[in-house]
Structure 1
Amino acid sequence: MSRALTCVLVANRGEIARRVFATARAMGLRTVAVHSDADAGAPFVAEADVAVRLPGNTPAETYLRADLVVAAALRAGADCVHPGYGFLSENADFARAVQDAGLVFVGPDPDAVEAMGSKLAAKELMARAGVPVLPSVDATGLSGDTLEKAAGEVGWPLLVKASFGGGGRGMRTVRGPEELAEAVEGAGREAASAFGDGTVFLERLIERPRHVEVQVFGDRHGHTVALFERECSIQRRHQKVVEEAPSPAVGPELRQRLQDAAVAAARAIGYVGAGTVEFLLDEGGEFWFLEMNTRLQVEHPVTEAVTGLDLVRLQFDVAAGRPLPPGAVSPTLSGAAIEVRLYAEDPARDWLPQSGRLAGFALAADAEFRTPPGPGIRLDSGFRAGDDVGVHYDPMLAKVVAWAPDRTSAALALAGALARARLHGVTTNRDLLVRVLRSEAFLAGETDTGFLDRHGLDVLATPLVDDAGRRVHAVVAALAGAALRRAAAPVLAGLPSGWRNNPTVPQTTAFDAGTVRYRLHRGGVTADVDGEPVDLAVLGTAVTGPGRVRLVVEAGGLRGTHEVHVDGDRSWVDGPDGATAFTELPRFPEPSAAVAPGSLTAGMPGAVTRVAVAEGDEVRAGQLVLVLEAMKMEHPVVAPADGVVTSLHADVGAQVETGAVLAVVTPTAPESGGDRGAS
């Protein structure tokens, strides 16, 4: 019996809330957002027909409060709730609470969510259904010799994994007994913070497998179908970074085996709605059940791209009691699609999350949330220029998707769109994504979960702009700043700043990346960066808007256009070869207190969740001092050298800002090299 749905509350935020709203509007549904205080000005809130405030900032105060979300749905007159992904999307109690309130849960039945909610219980269920599984054991309450014995039964190396959760949170790789206790404790802490349950288990680690998953869909009319596979092998910290459909490693015979196993898994729990069955795949074509996600996946757009199906629309149809359409019951696979996750993070600094204001945010995309997407680029994002990237949530800025008739064309189109993007204000993983997509190994389909480690961040995280290019960019940034200052002059605004009829002292601009000296004269411009000459000719300069300058420059015999965005003391240069950011240093810096040698400072705002040392303790280089939690991830702070903890400024629960001194480790004086023999 079908039921007309007229108003949906999306129990989520950011990009996925906007994505669901896009389809809901196309179907004529009224849309309701819930939002934390930190998200009050976010685009998803503005796009909803109505919004309900959830007081507070952290997930535990807001998006994880099932009672507040259900109350918001009732107050707004919603008749259904879409959970998105993350937060409460795989919480059986929430699904029941939605149904008990007389609302439709746009997802599977609570019993199915519960059956797959615990990865441990799910593995046992899959084994009974004949789906291959890896050895594992519950680590809850285990310690000391008991924990080591359990690990020995699983086999080394192994993973510590959160039983309730995903996205790489609450997961640790362990290669020996000496690492085990800390990994179990840390994973449990992180899982409790992210998912509200600290249960963890041990699982055999398969070295460098492919991560392949199958999209499944079920309805209440007897259909359980597989919509082909996605490969999500390229990961950092066990979290996906690049996803694609179909997998370059999967042919027709293996695809059928994977789909048969996925359908068997779904049918074992009477699954209804959108779900994903994840597998680990080795080089020989053998695979093992990893987990089942009883929700829409982050990477669902690549399946939409190759099937032409709107998966969110299918979710609404199934939730309303309608059967899957013929296009989903007998799907066809067309072309190739690749998605990358654009994060506010610094890969070169151990993937350190970034926060701050997005001064500029524009990608070469022709539409947002196109469903289904056609040839070209699709952008799914929760941010716009001017938004703040906060510290309370995941640092993903956007998903960027390319579809093309073949995989290589999709990869190169996506790399080009990313390279041309205007991303100003925070450090991102954009350059790494471009290098991955253009690498010979990726284009050859040689992808597995060890891809980033194997090819190395020393190569993949290298900026697209080389040293010579950065020097050109520095000069361009200095000239752009001068052009903006000159454009605001009350007289002779068209005269270049610093121009002289006769040779004179050069103009100087000091950036964090080097000091630029330049002189404008009848013959053009002469310039150097930290004394190294930069040979370039400026062929045109135009102020195109507030803080924006376009310069046409010829350097090394190559002519190209550079767009410069100046915002306060920050400048971003986007050129043909990539982008560079600069911070202009003050001419007369204010005196400030020096940070004591050996100080360990916070790389981002966050909360101290653990302090592992006390003042006076001796520590070794690399030893854990404390743990800082930010953007839903734990970040260990370790001793930079052997020494003594002479000062400790952080307690558990303390909130700290970027640059705050957390502790001071005074290095141990080197021992004398004299004769130590007995007299």
Structure 2
Amino acid sequence: MRKVLIANRGEIAVRVARACAEYGVASVAVYADADADAPHARLADEAYALPDGYLDVDGLLDVAARAGADAVHPGYGFLSESAAAAARVEEAGLVWIGPTPATIARLGDKALAREVARSVGAPLAPGSDGPVGSADDVVAFAREHGLPVMIKAAHGGGGRGLRVVRRLEEVTGLYDAAAREAAAAFGRGECLVEKYLERPRHVEVQVLGDGTGGVVVLGTRDCSVQRRSQKLVEEAPAPFLTSEQEQVLTTAARDICAAVGYRSAGTVELLLDADGLISFLEVNTRLQVEHTVTEETTDIDLVRQQLLLADGRPVEVTEDVRPSGHAIELRITAEDPGRGFLPGPGTLTRFDPPGGPGVRVDAGVVAGSTVPASFDSLVAKLVVRAPDRTTALRRARAAVASFTVEGVPTVLPFHVRLLEDPAFTAPSARSFAVHTRWVEDECTWLDELGEKRAEPPHEDPVVRTWVEIDGRRSLLGLPTALLAQLSTTGHAQSPDPAQEAGTAPDASSDGDVSAPAAGILTSWSAPDGERVEAGERVAVVEAMKTERPIAAPLAGVLRHVVTEGAQVGAGDRLGVVEP
């Protein structure tokens, strides 16, 4: 390989660009309009605009051809688990830095993955043999195996398309929501149903496969601190496992990946319930966000190993690795933990990360960066390493206390409080009480959290933007006075989007249906002109990977103002209910 196109954004694109530089290959970044000034676009050797977004495979292949790239690294998320995208890349004569398309397809289909797990004797909770055909099938399964049950997307991961059913009357609504979210995220809405394990820990095993059946295990991780099935904290090795549990976990991971001839880095995820029952969950056929804690406890650069394997060279790890010390990763997201982790896109007026021995910060932003509403809310990862868990917790407290972010809400206050909670900082398995629902169900202190918002910065007399010239980005500055003059003469005036669409401008009304957060209006639950009742769900906005239902403020006739698929801001008027 000579030049790698990085088909991603944010901190993972920065991470891959740095690994490419160390490996000795050039890197090519792509950026959506909202990321024109993002650090990953500046760090790479070249950067090209991708107007239709990061999922535009045609656009990515066009950039690869223009830049002369001969390989594609998908990072995580976006295209990393798309067998079709991997196949398109290879059909174009490029190297796909990851598992083969066939492996991604087989393990990305959760029904097929369960079959692989069953064939090698991996532990499994009861579940459907394949995708269920309807909500009625979910009801039948629940009656046979008991509640609660879990509906989850058959394709993809990351907590998308996952719902827990605790009452039979909830099945239809939750099934429809899971299928809709899965279709929006992965292009396919099929769902599986499984027996839901109450209060389980989320544990996983990092592997490297050579593509011929050889698989090495690089240790375990615990990722139980989550909100809405999205991880907030990860640590390695997973604490308080018995030697028998660790043996079951690592054997299952190795056997599953060996059975499919796994190539590249991958993660096998499992659940461990309070009674010690272990159940296979899924295989993530990509680099994980939390790969950093494994790197810190093994001194193995996982991205470098991916590059070696894709380059047809042997990895530098030939046998299972025993982790040394303990590492903890805290995800820093642009969300307000005191308001139900409500996403808060905006501009970072200050970004001062901590440093020092054993402290690592992987960031996709700097002061002045914009956190777009249209993408994941992750802005940085704080990783600490120490000889043992107790010392790592102490180091994490000091690092979080000196981490300053202003301009958008973040989960830093949550991490400060978490690192003092006895349930998380427990010294033994007996007192370690964290599970995947712990944040929502047991963190009674969430409502106490909040952040003071920084005052908006004074207006800069120069507006800066970036222009692309032959794959290199150049900074262009335009005086605001000039722009203002153009605006008043009509040459730079933007049309009112509401008037352009033929709708009335927003107006305050008691019947307004407003966006709870910046995001995308994914669907109207009720047609235009239909009568709705107060409290009835009428729309869904997706904000930073999370669906947020919107209820009718009063009874009346619903009128749509904004169409499905539109980008909306927090508080925007989406529609109105006329009494």
* TM bracket (short chain): 0.7 to 0.9
Match of 2:569 in 1: 657
Which segments of 5 or more consecutive residues in structure 1 lack a partner in the other structure? 57-61, 367-374, 485-592, 668-679
CA distance in 1, matches of 2:187, 2:76: 15
One-letter amino acid matched to 2:81: E
Show the 5 A alignment for 1:50-199.
Answer: 50-56=46-52, 62-137=53-128, 142-143=133-134, 145-153=136-144, 155-199=146-190
Q: 1:330 to 1:632 in 2, by over 3 A?
A: closer
Task: Point out which structure has higher relative CO (alpha carbons under 8 A, 6+ apart).
Answer: 2
Cα deviation for residue 285 of structure 1 reads 2.7
Q: Which residue does the alignment assign to 1:309?
A: 300
Aligned residue runs from structure 1 range 579-590, under 5 A = none
Give runs of aligned pairs for residues 391-430 of structure 1, distance below 5 A.
Answer: 391-430=373-412
C-alpha distance in structure 2 between counterparts of 1:285 and 1:147, whole Å = 26
Asked if structure 1 preserves the Cα contact closer than 8 Å seen for 2:521 and 2:541, the reply is yes
What is the identity percentage for the equivalent residue pairs of Structure 1 and Structure 2?
A: 45
Distance 1:144 1:28 in 2: 52
- Corresponding residue SS for 1:440: coil
1:463 aligns with 2:376: no
| Partner Cα separation in structure 2 for residue 662 and residue 54 of structure 1 | 28
Match of 1:356 in 2: 346
Match in the other structure for 1:227: 218
1:202-253 C-alpha deviation (Å, 9 max, x unpaired): 1211011000000011115763111110000111111111100011121333
**C-alpha distance in structure 2 between counterparts of 1:85 and 1:599, whole Å:** 38
**Alignment pair present for 1:450 and 2:363:** no
Tell me the alpha carbon deviations over residues 168-194 of structure 1, each in whole angstroms, 9 at most, x when there is no partner: 111111112221112121112211222
Q: Which residue of 2 aligns with 1:39?
A: 35
| Structure 1 pair 70–151 and aligned structure 2 pair: CA distance change class (3 A) | farther
Q: 1:143 to 1:315 in 2, by over 3 A?
A: closer
CA contact (8 A) 2:534 2:551 kept: no
Is the CA contact 2:511–2:576 (under 8 Å) kept in the aligned structure 1? yes
In the alignment, the residues of structure 2 paired with residue 289 and residue 632 of structure 1 have an alpha-carbon distance, to the nearest angstrom, of: 24
Range with greater deviation from structure 2 (442-451 or 144-153): 144-153
Asked if 2 retains the 8 angstrom alpha-carbon contact of 1:87 and 1:195, the reply is no
- 1:72 and 1:140 map into 2 onto residues whose CA distance is 37
Alpha-carbon distance, 1:618 to partner: 4.8
Please say which structure displays the higher CA radius of gyration: 1
Per-residue CA deviations over 1:20-40 (Å, capped at 9, x if unaligned) read 111111111111112222222
Deviates more, 1:387-396 or 1:219-228: 219-228
User: Aligned ranges for residues 167-566 of structure 1 at < 5 Å?
Assistant: 167-220=158-211, 223-326=214-317, 329-366=319-356, 375-444=357-426, 445-456=432-443, 458-463=444-449
Bigger drift between 600-609 and 302-311 goes to 600-609
Q: 2:18 — aligned with what?
A: 22
Per-residue deviation at 1:260?
Answer: 0.9
Per the TM alignment, residue 650 of structure 1 is displaced from its structure 2 partner at its CA by 4.2
**The residue matched to 2:424 in structure 1 has which SS?**
helix
Rounded Cα–Cα distance in structure 2 between residues aligned with 1:312 and 1:344:
26
Quick one: which amino acid aligns to residue 453 of structure 1? Answer: E
Q: 1:624 aligns with which of 521, 537, 541?
A: 537
Q: Does 1:10 align with 2:1?
A: no
Equivalent residue letter for 2:348: L
Conserved in 1, the CA contact under 8 Å of 2:217 and 2:320? no
Deviations for 1:127-159, whole angstroms, at most 9, x for unmatched residues? Answer: 112112222237867346445224434542111
Correspondence for 1:607: 520
- Per the TM alignment, residue 411 of structure 1 is displaced from its structure 2 partner at its CA by 1.9
Q: Which residue matches 2:500?
A: none
Alignment partners' CA distance in 1, 2:264 and 2:525: 45
Q: In the comparison of the two structures, how many residue pairs are matched?
A: 526
Q: Deviations over 1:596-648 (max 9, x none)?
A: 33544223333322223465735254x312111232332111246x7445765
Equivalent position to 2:45, from 8, 24, 49 = 49
Please give the secondary structure, in 2, of the residue aligned with 1:441.
coil
In structure 2, relative to structure 1, the CA distance for the partners of 1:17 and 1:655 (3 Å cut) is closer
Cα pair 1:135 1:203 within 8 Å, conserved? yes
Letter in 1 for 2:533: V
For 2:128 and 2:60, the matched residues in 1 are separated by 35
Shift in Å at residue 443 of structure 1?
Answer: 0.5
Superposition deviation, residue 276 in structure 1: 0.5
| Contact kept in structure 1, 2:213 and 2:260, CA below 8 Å | no
Q: Is the 8 A contact 1:278 1:290 kept in 2?
A: yes
Task: Find the aligned partners of 1:320 and 1:646 in 2 and give their Cα distance.
Answer: 57
- Of 31-40 and 650-659, the range deviating more from structure 2: 650-659
Tell me the distance in 2 between the aligned counterparts of 1:234 and 1:27: 34
> What CA deviation, in whole Å up to 9, does each residue of 1:508-546 have, x standing for no partner?
xxxxxxxxxxxxxxxxxxxxxxxxxxxxxxxxxxxxxxx
CA distance in 2, matches of 1:637, 1:139: 32
User: 1:649 and 1:222 mapped to 2: Cα distance?
Assistant: 56
